Amino acid sequence: MTTATQTALTEERIQQLRADFPILAERPADVPLVYLDSGATSQQPRQVLEAEWAFRTQRNAAVHRGAHTLAGLATDDYEQARVSLARFVGARPTEISWAMNATDALNSVALSLAEANRADSTDPSLSIREGDEILITEAEHHANLLPWQRLADETGATLRWVEVDDDGVWTADAALALITERTRVVALAHISNVTGLIAPVEQIVAAAHAVGALVVLDACQSVPHRPVDLRALGVDAAAFSSHKMLGPGGIGVLYLAEALGEALPPARVGGSMITTVTMTEREFLPPPQKFEAGTQPVASIVGLAAAVDYLEAVGMLAISAHELALGERLAAGAASIDGIRLVGPPPGVERAGIASVIVDGVHAHDAGQVLDAQGIAARVGHHCAQPLHRRLGVAATTRASAYLYTTEAEVDHFLDVLSGVRAYFGAA
């Protein structure tokens, strides 16, 4: 976890930070860009772009392979990045493995559990059989739904879910009521990418561990935006993506608590993660290398480490406070507009810097076109959460998501344009 001095994100400070992001000065719609889609992909500061470029041009080599100097330098950068990421999320370096992205990391956990099941693991906590249960929520991103659907199909386990209400919100009480002696895995998002709901992770972990179940956390919307200590939370596995936290695409992080990492078999096998191979047998390295088959995107990993350095320098507490305030501003503003239905927690209830809305009489894609014409880059669609949208009775919502470079003026501009969408289409 970062120990950097936390400096409040004043308007002056935000403008200083914005100068680090070249794309924010662009005008893709021929008007000033208002980037409110960081929940999908964040922008990258010069410091990250330069770190990745420097590695590619000065230290690029295969890691953990060559005996030459350049390979040694590349390996040092690679492993130092692991140390940085571990510190950032309160983990040990041996608990941090690289993945293609968070989706890949979540799939890896489910596939490893399936492999453990086939291998008839001696660890009973990894055994998932017919009659066992896997618990998720109805609000999950598909990346934290489909792997568990498949695991249930393969093992005969029952997939259960915590239902959401008419606003897309689920409660701790509803989740705790579904955790039983049959529960083997509980998988949930720390923060919903649609509603901004902040999950009661500690309560879920305590209840799950009391019955011997594993807890897998989708931390894509939390790690980039607030201080997160995975070991303190007590989760067994977690996943998050570089491209949502100022870093490059194509690299994600898989956290496996020490005990689970040692017990799980790898989901993928190949070069770099073995000690001995014969024509009929193989022995794997210990974690984290056990889960890193093949050549990794080292330059992107170095860029991710630079993103962590940047976030720590700004201060995660300051970033979190800024985004919580923007989330409340978004929620209160959207809820006050006639014909706009706010999804998720109501104004006054803590939410992340995310607000999704339904515009009465107007499809989300049409609303997005009006916003885009004014330079506002907001997300429209089902946000890879079709079951949640089906529960809400719509095919899509319009989502604004903030980050450290988002200003109050940008939020107000979004709300102002949003307030005119229904009139534009004659729906008011």
DSSP 124-156: GGG---TT-EEEEETT--GGGTHHHHHHHHHH-
% of the chain with per-residue pLDDT over 70? 97
Q: In the predicted model, what is the mean pLDDT of residues 407-423?
A: 98
Catalytic residues: 384
> For the chain, what are the domain ranges?
11-44+315-423, 51-312
CA dist 37 and 243 (Å) reads: 12
pTM for the whole structure: 0.96
Query: Using an 8 Å Cβ cutoff, are 244 and 220 in contact?
Result: yes
352 has a pLDDT exceeding 90 = yes
Q: Name the band, by pLDDT with cuts 50, 70 and 90, for residue 375.
A: very high
Query: Using an 8 Å Cβ cutoff, are 356 and 383 in contact?
Result: yes
* CATH number, domain 11-44+315-423: 3.90.1150.10
User: What is the CB-side half-sphere exposure of residue 148 using CA atoms within 13 A?
Assistant: 29
Q: Name the band, by pLDDT with cuts 50, 70 and 90, for residue 1.
A: very low
pLDDT tens digits, residue range 109-140?
999 999 998 865 557 779 899 999 999 999 99
pLDDT at 378: 98
5 has a pLDDT exceeding 60 = no
pLDDT at 6: 61
- Tokens 């669609």 correspond to 381
pLDDT at 120: 56
| CATH number 1.10.287.370 is the correct assignment for the domain at 51-312 | no
pLDDT at 4: 44
Mean pLDDT of the chain: 96
2 has a pLDDT exceeding 50 = no
pLDDT tens digits, residue range 379-395?
999 999 999 999 999 99
Residue 217 structure tokens: 């956390």
Residue 341's H or E segment, with its range, is strand 340-343
